[in-house]
Amino acid sequence: MPVEVNVDDIVRLRKVHPCGSYEWRVVRIGADIGLKCLKCGRRVLLPRSTFERRLKSFISRAAAPPPEAAAPTRWLSAERADSDSTNTTGVEDSYSA
């Protein structure tokens, strides 16, 4: 399974950079993955296969749209169910009186 990686993700690699940092920001996605060292600012290009081998973990992910996009739909349906039951009760009371 290919690793899903986005620009501005912060990653930790297995191999330490000569400057002493393990942490990199993803600056380019393509056949090669562009990385910028968080400590010394040096940029490198790694073939995707090499990047996936060296990748240890993600420190932060730049993009997380799926959970945020799903939330409003759930909120909307919950509000609609509440107001429906309240309105129905009120209307029935006034008509029967």
Report the interface residues with Zn ion, using CB under 5 A. Answer: 17, 19, 21, 37, 39-40
Q: Closest distance between Zn ion and the C-beta of residue 16, in Å?
A: 9
β-pair partners for 34: 28, 45
- In this complex, which beta carbon is closest to Zn ion, that of residue 9 or of residue 35? 35
3 state SS of 50: helix
58 touches 9 (CB < 8 A): yes
Q: Closest distance between Zn ion and the C-beta of residue 22, in Å?
A: 9
- In this complex, which beta carbon is closest to Zn ion, that of residue 5 or of residue 44? 44
- In this complex, which beta carbon is closest to Zn ion, that of residue 19 or of residue 91? 19
Q: Closest distance between Zn ion and the C-beta of residue 18, in Å?
A: 7
Q: Give the number of other CB atoms < 10 A from CB of residue 26.
A: 20
Q: Closest distance between Zn ion and the C-beta of residue 39, in Å?
A: 5
β-pair partners for 32: 47
Reduced DSSP (H G I as helix, E B as strand, rest coil) percent helix, strand, coil of the chain, to 5: 40, 30, 30
